[in-house]
Chain A
Amino acid sequence: MTFFVRRAGFFLATLWAAVTLNFLIPRLEPGDPAEALLARLSSRTEAVDPAQLAAVRKLLGTPDGNLLQQYWEYLGALAQGHFGVSYTYYPYSVTDVISEAMPWTLVLVGVTQVISFAVGTVLGAWAAYRRNSRTDSLITLGSTFIGTLPFFWIGLLLIFVFAITLNWFPEGGGYGGGSQPGWTWLFFSDAFQHSVLPAVSLLITGPIGWILGMRNNMVQNLGEDYARLARAKGLSRRRIALTYGARIAVLPNVTGFAIALGSILGGTVLVESIFNYPGMGRLLLEAVSNKDFPLMQTLFLFTTVGVLLANFLADVAYGFLDPRVRRKEAA
């Protein structure tokens, strides 16, 4: 039990540090966003009018008071879910913008990640089980080859073949002009149609890391003394492969998987921009290119929290899966 309490404590401490850094870093950067904005707006090089500056500050909601007061206000706002107003989508609040984009990413990337992990683990284990066979070479070499292809190229190829040439799927976007977001059959089938190509592109490259990681871990485990002893015990190949190979080999992958899940919140910038998909990744791209500080900061915060949370869950899962860790930490 102490193990889990310790992990939770560690999680909370890191979360606090991340939140605080997220507050401090923009304030430690040189320059004033209001002045920067004015300088961009006016082509003239004259001195900035203080009144104008004050007005812009009001407009942006630049905080007053000393650092400590600001910090308290910041924590209070965070607790209530206020992240400020987006510059790009003014007057919508950051919360609105993000809650609009979040479901798209969660569904697309989340589902493909889970499938990638499952498929990758199974394929990797299979390759290790039949190591040095033709199946193994096919799986290993095939995934290494695909892994060398640039992701955007795969995406563009998919669009070219299936959207432009064959016209089976739309070229991009989250849903078509004909449907409006809502709990209707029309919208869901339309959204599904739009998600096929990005999902496929993610599924082509997604499992590769898991396949190779799983295969290598498992081949190594099957070469250990305990696997050899299992053979000497006359256990079935299946039992050896599962309990003495896969069961141990999957452990390091679990951590990797949790971190991958955590980073979903940050979205997948590349795939979302290639397919013009209305998720978090594209939002991040827009925020960065428009210097939309509140949006950027919130997205970064989300990513950090997501990764931390996922790490925490991975630790907890690891505690269940690997008795060695539980013991070491708790002792």
Chain B
Amino acid sequence: MPLLQVEDLQVTYSPRDSAAVRAVDHVSFTVGEGEFVGLLGESGCGKSTLGHAVLRLLEKPAAITGGRITFDGRDVTRLDEDELRPMRWADLSTVFQSSMNSLNPVITVREQFADAIAAHPEATGGKVDVDERAGELLEMVSLDRGVLRRYPHELSGGMKQRVALALALVLRPRFVLLDEPTTGLDVVVQRDILDRLRELQRRLGFAVLFISHDLGTVMEMADRVMVMYAGEIVESRPAADMVVRQLHPYSAGLLGSYADPRDADVEVAYTPGRPPDLSRRHDGCLFQPRCPVAVDACRTRHPSLVPVERGEARCLLLEGPAEQAAHGGRQGAEAAPGTASAPVPPPVRNVAVFSTTADSRGREGGEPVMTVEGVGKTYRTKRGLGFTSTRAVRNVSFTLRPGRVSALVGESGSGKSTIARLLTGVERPSRGSVRFKGTRVDRLRRSALRRYRRHVQLVFQDPFSALNPTRTLAYALGRPLRNHLGMDGRQARARAAELLETVGLSPAEQYLDKLPSQLSGGQRQRVVIARALAPEPEVLIADEPISMLDVSIRAEILELLDTLVRDRGIAMLYITHDLLSARLLADEVMVLNQGSMVEHGPTLEVIGDAKDPYTRRLLAAIPRPGTSRVPAMAGSPAEAATGGTGGAEQRPPGI
């Protein structure tokens, strides 16, 4: 008997003022004792809702509207809070997303352990030495016991996340739900926490449901992976199988968006479009509008989850032709167990790929437009009577050339964003100089600075907050046109339409009068890019432009940026913590560590043959699905040499 069994679960959001949304639809799965199951999906697919339903933490307007959750033979679906309470934490515990806010800010870490222990005398046998138990767990997640006396705000994000993990294990639960436990943490920290987690899981033997949108991580950590799309599970198979071949086109698209940046030729796929509106009824396959291999039947028939190989998948193309004819709609899969034993895998092709080969990068560019020389920036903060100075950037030099992308890679706090601020003239360097075609940017003031800003534009990280939610796109794009180019209303509108077409939002008339809230994340980011292009800048600074976007559309934005740089001869500074995207887009890579540039050179050289230990750590932190991790030094040249079949066929990434 599985430890956790979810049968036909449905969760519906029924807000008072809008239509009900089926966030989780007829989901069934099991998690065995000690099993590590990954749940992969993009934002809004219902994965977190499913997690909350399993923990019985749903709050209005969400509610379980059908199905059953059984834990250890006990139906927990309809238990009330008092009956659930003894099971909570002692049997099922959890770590929430990045835990930035999941610790009580006004009590010490020790107290947060103590109250969990005190609430479950039955699980601990009454007497537990809090300091001993909690201290031991903290050591397991490589934290000092002294952390017990600290308050959450005194800890870094990574430390908080370790505390949350230790806290989840305090009552020796049999099942732990991890909901995006490392999202938002720096890659190296993330790597370390995940390694620790896997080790603890093996040692203590608890079962895990690991929810994440980060494909590489899930594939590498989990024994079995479930892919969720639009509230349904579309594929559920052993990770080792799925990584080699994906049966559902959506899974194929997701895996296609991953590649190893060390390969000579790197190619990533993306899946244009966006998930369906779940408040409406859909007859056919929910993925059909975005599906590259859809056939006519997909529009009208909803596929069932059918057993395939050592798992299950939901795709009409996997059901035999006879099957397709025999049953329509959602029912019927149960009636056809035998047929799926020899499935015909769908000929998955990527509709869209963004690829980069060994020689397609390394454009020389023209004369430098932007020259940064020996720049340093020191922030002084008042502390009591004295000052503390923080050296955010130390002695950094580089140039930006037209038609060329320079990637600035580093973790949070490495000084990347400070450099962006120095280039835009928002801040002045403490040392060194920033030149734009011979003009000293660091000496510009007022109107000269305003005129200068026309030439250097920014693409922001978060497309959801970068646009004024109360203004239409025509307005958002019109502002820079009026301000910098002195256009009148009509000219600006016509130009705004052209810009929308340039970034692929076409026909532009349909978009001009829309509000940002009517667009998806990817579309918003396109608008942000269009706005940056509006004053015809010569330098574009893109600060993590894809990190907030769903994996399946990231490559789409990268491709757009690449085209713009090439066609318009713009010099781009691409700021990122993600080496894969740097590899795809950039001609040269600069690695920044604690304000200093530790490595600088052509992309393939830096990534393929990293010299600096810090760069190597960054590379080692990249998850490699399908390979079981050896905690030795990563980044051996042998790995970088393989791969690279290229072409249109989907290939297993990272192997």
Contact = CB atoms under 8 A, between A and B. Distances in A.
Interface of A: 2, 6, 132, 224-226, 228-237, 239, 243-244, 247-248, 251, 321-324, 327, 331
A234 B90 contact: yes
A254 to B, nearest CB: 12
B440 interface: no
Interface stretch (B97-105, B331-339, B614-622): B97-105
Contacts of B99: 225
Contacts of B63: none
A323 B153 CA distance: 9
B153 A239 contact: no
Interface string B384-415: 10000000000000000000000000000000
B10 interface: no
Interface residues of B, number: 35
14 contacts: A224-B101, A226-B102, A229-B96, A232-B57, A233-B115, A234-B88, A234-B90, A235-B115, A235-B116, A244-B104, A247-B106, A251-B106, A324-B105, A327-B151
Given A226-B102, A230-B115, A234-B84, 9 more contacts: A226-B103, A229-B96, A233-B93, A236-B85, A248-B104, A324-B105, A324-B151, A327-B151, A327-B154
B39 to A, nearest CB: 17
A225 B102 contact: yes
B120 A230 contact: no
Contacts of B88: 231-234
B87 interface: yes
B104 A243 contact: yes
Interface in B150-169: 151, 153-154, 164
* Residue with the greatest number of chain B CB neighbours at <10 A, chosen from A6, A237, A243, A321: A243
B563 to A, nearest CB: 40
A10 to B, nearest CB: 12
Given A225-B96, A228-B57, A231-B57, A239 B119 contact: yes
A24 to B, nearest CB: 28
Contacts of A239: 115, 119
A321 B115 contact: no
* Residue with the greatest number of chain A CB neighbours at <10 A, chosen from B55, B100, B106: B106
Contacts of B97: 225
Contacts of B164: 229
Contacts of A237: 81
A323 B84 contact: no
B17 to A, nearest CB: 16
Interface string B49-71: 00000010100100000000000
B119 A248 contact: no
A327 B84 contact: no
A234 B120 CA distance: 8
A321 B90 CA distance: 31
B151 A323 contact: yes
A323 B105 CA distance: 8
A232 B103 contact: no
A281 B412 CA distance: 56
Contact of A226 (B81, B87, B101, B120): B101
Interface in B338-364: none
A243 B107 contact: yes
B576 interface: no
Contacts of A235: 115-116, 119
Nearest to A324: B153
B157 to A, nearest CB: 14
Contacts of B93: 232-233
A247 B85 CA distance: 22
B83 to A, nearest CB: 11
B119 A6 contact: no
A232 B106 contact: no
Interface in B81-133: 81, 84-90, 92-94, 96-97, 99-107, 115-116, 119-120
Nearest to B120: A234
B383 interface: yes
B444 to A, nearest CB: 35
Contact of A228 (B60, B96, B153): B96
A279 B396 CA distance: 68
